[in-house]
Structure 1
Amino acid sequence: MSAKGRFLILRRFRAGDCDLMVKAYSPYGLVKLFVSEGLLPERGFLGYMEPFNLLYAVYNQSGDVLFLKDIIEVDFFSYLCFRDYSAYLWMNSLVSFVERWFVQYDPELFNMLINYLRLNPKNRAVLLIKFKLESLKRLGLYKEDIFDKKLIKIAKIIAEEDKLIKLERLKINQKYLLELDNAIDSHLSNSL
């Protein structure tokens, strides 16, 4: 029996001579999507299986692996990373965070990730912290006491600001951004 679903491609791996294994975020959480003969040009799937692309596809399931049958529609977010190398780094940092910490599917987190992937921020470090703080809030794990006293004010400013222009203009020492990032990762590793 076939089903349809949306999949955000996180990573793709070669699986044998001509097959692909794709790690994706979907309505089922993190999934493995097997694409039979996905490397063959005759099959026509290779270009669609780029990281960051959003697929609407038909699949079958066997155990914890989904088998791709057909693609209905694709949003080519992978082309957004061709703007420059820093755009690729931005998108990759978002996807790496999702791959590590988004174990289960949440429609709000999924939509938030899609919105952040579309951005081309100038101050990527601050926006990445904003993404992580919003993720904590949506997961119900946000607490101010996970940060040192000097970082609480910075985290509050970033978390409460909704305007992209103001976030891009924030001048925050890289040391503090790194400490915020480490505190968030530490909190997530202790909580999940």
Structure 2
Amino acid sequence: MVCTEWMEVTRAALSTLRPRQWVMDQVIDMFGIKTTLHRPDLLYLPSTVIVNCTKKKNPCIWNQYISGTYKPVNGATIRKVFIPLIKDKHWWACICDMESKTNYILNSSNSVQSYDVHNTTIDTVAKLSPILARSSPSYYPMRFLHSHRVITLKVPQQSNNFDCGAHVLRYLSMLDCELGDWQNPDNYQRMPDFRKSVMMQLLSWDANTRTEYK
């Protein structure tokens, strides 16, 4: 059964997929869940879960997310974990590759201090790892996420101050690609068209519990 708490996107949030808009967390989370929904080898961690767990506002929210959530998950079958990260309204992503034991940082703006991005990523993963591992014996492999090597990929840079979230959505859409695809500038062309494509996917998705658009 799909947990509706993470499966709705408001009109205001959807409007941020229009050109030249900063994409809201509801959109990124819903697209992340949609992308990984039927994939036992992929795990998406919503920004809501990350914030509540790492700041200890509600550490039980992880168990709520998994137990009442969008799919059963086994830590032993997970190949990649996608973690969206945000600081000072700048989005970037960490993709944890369980097979190579590598955490890749994908950051579309060098205007944000790479030192801050690097340290924030490491700190967040270190806090999340034991929380994930404690949730179930099957999640034990997740305990070692923090010990993976960390590599910052040189990915194409946004040419403005509003496309960081759109780049994170693009990373999500390429989870099955090779590392070179994340670094290929051709995959980041026509971002307005890509934003429109994501909007249409979310509008037409049956799991979207918002009915005002149907």
TM range (shorter): under 0.3
User: Using CA pairs below 8 Å that are at least 6 residues apart, which structure has the higher relative contact order?
Assistant: 2
Larger Rg: 1
TM-score norm. by structure 2 comes to 0.25
Give the TM-score of the pair, scaled to structure 1. 0.27
